[in-house]
Amino acid sequence: MNGSLEGRTYVVMGVANKRSIAWGIAQSLNKAGARLIFTYASERFEKPVRDLSNTLEGPESLFYECDVTDDEAINQTFAAIQQDVGVIHGLAHCIAFANRDELKGEYVDTSRDGFLTAHNISSYSLTAVARAAKPVMSDGGGIVTLTYLGGEKVVENYNVMGIAKASLDASVKYLANDLGKHQIRVNAISAGPIRTLSAKGIGDFNKILTEIEERAPLRRAVTQEEVGDTAFFLMSDLSRGVTGEIIHCDSGYNIVG
Ligand code: NDP
Ligand code: N5H
């Protein structure tokens, strides 16, 4: 048993730029020989994703637009993928969104609209995507999503995203139970803080990183490459007995009281 992904095809959703965790995952899968399929929220992001993928060696990548708030778009994307490649062996869901004004102040002030938006994009989308991917994963495989400690414990300013991640974490378990009989595994990576576009403009980010450097067992932040390699593990046969799991790739920070 080795971790080669040669001859396999994986969907990576959520590359915005070279700092995206999704890009770290794409690079790890590519190194293992996989063919990649990229999806992005709107046409506007097609060129940056194509430009990034041109830096990869190996099999040619494929590209599809897929706004995860739109069921029709999700169904059309996976129907097109099935038509174009036949079978996929895994999927990385690296998508989240909450209105910026809900990511400061107190959670108690979250609006109904803000709550529903965060849950729609950051949690429900995994279920919708897993359902559409299921028939295309006819050889089984691995679905991976990204979560954060703020779904397990209260983290200042994470607010409604924490509630959405708690819902996502529970979805991972229910989906793992439903899809296991098809040999489709569903797992999450709880990543430590990484400076991505989503994290941009968040006032206390430096303070959060300093805390990690001082208190996490490894005394340093994690990189997108480390999260990428964890995703590779979860999408390869090396993790064939693992499903419904939330693996922390966070320098061990979550264990410190
Ligand atoms: P990025 O900003 O790089 O990625 C977020 C992605 O979400 C973007 O590519 C964006 O697409 C996509 N997205 C938002 N709305 C939609 C939509 N309606 N349809 C399709 N795609 C959409 O940030 P990260 O890499 O940090 O985030 C990836 C995941 O990692 C998220 O789930 C995040 O919560 C999680 N995470 C991040 C941590 C961090 O410290 N950075 C820590 C722990 C977890 P587009 O650009 O096309 O709009
Ligand atoms: C405790 C923290 C810091 C405070 C909370 C941050 C939460 C971030 C998550 C969400 C997904 C960020 C977000 O939705 C930003 C948008 O409002 C505005 N940005 C955008 O629209 C950009 C252009 C696009 C690309 O972004 C998205 N998401 O579409 C948590 C941090 C220590 C860790 C962290 C940053 C976690 C996380 O979940 O991302």
**Structure tokens given for 139:** 């050889």
| Rg of the chain over all Cα atoms, to the nearest angstrom | 17
Cβ of residue 123 lying under 6 Å from some atom of ligand 1: no
| Sign of the torsion formed by the C-alpha atoms of 245, 185, 231 and 20 | negative
Q: What stretches of the chain show up as alpha helix (H) in DSSP? A: 21-31, 46-53, 71-85, 112-119, 125-133, 160-179, 205-215, 224-235
For residue 2, the model assigns a pLDDT of: 75
What angle in degrees, to the nearest 10, is found between the helix axes of 21-31 and 46-53?
A: 30
The yes-or-no answer on residue 158 being catalytic is yes
Query: 40, 124, 148, 253: which one is catalytic?
Result: 148
- Cα distances (angstroms) measured from residue 37 to each of 44, 126, 250, 252: 17, 17, 27, 31
Query: Would you say 212 and 253 are in contact if contact means Cβ atoms under 8 Å apart?
Result: yes
Cβ of residue 94 lying under 6 Å from some atom of ligand 1: yes
The yes-or-no answer on residue 64 being catalytic is no
For residue 190, the model assigns a pLDDT of: 99
One pLDDT digit (tens) per residue for the chain, 257 residues: 678 999 999 999 999 999 999 999 999 999 999 999 999 999 999 999 999 999 999 999 999 999 999 999 999 999 999 999 999 999 999 999 999 999 999 999 999 999 999 999 999 999 999 999 999 999 999 999 999 999 999 999 999 999 999 999 999 999 999 999 999 999 999 999 999 999 887 778 899 999 999 999 999 999 999 999 999 999 999 999 999 999 999 999 999 98
Instruction: Name the burial class of residue 242, with classes exposed (0-12), middle (13-18) and buried (19+) by CB atoms within 10 angstroms of its CB.
Output: middle
Distance CA 161, CA 146 (A): 12
Cα 135 to averaged position of ligand 2 atoms, centre (Å): 31
141 strand-pairing partners = 184
Query: Would you say 37 and 9 are in contact if contact means Cβ atoms under 8 Å apart?
Result: yes
Choose which residue among 198, 213, 215, 246 to substitute to test ligand 2 binding: the one with the highest number of ligand atoms within 8 A of its C-beta: 198
Estimate the share of the chain in helix, then strand, then coil, as percent rounded to the nearest 5. Answer: 50, 15, 35
For residue 202, the model assigns a pLDDT of: 76
9-252: CATH number: 3.40.50.720
* Residue 124 DSSP code: I
For residue 213, the model assigns a pLDDT of: 97
Q: Where are the domains of the chain?
A: 9-252
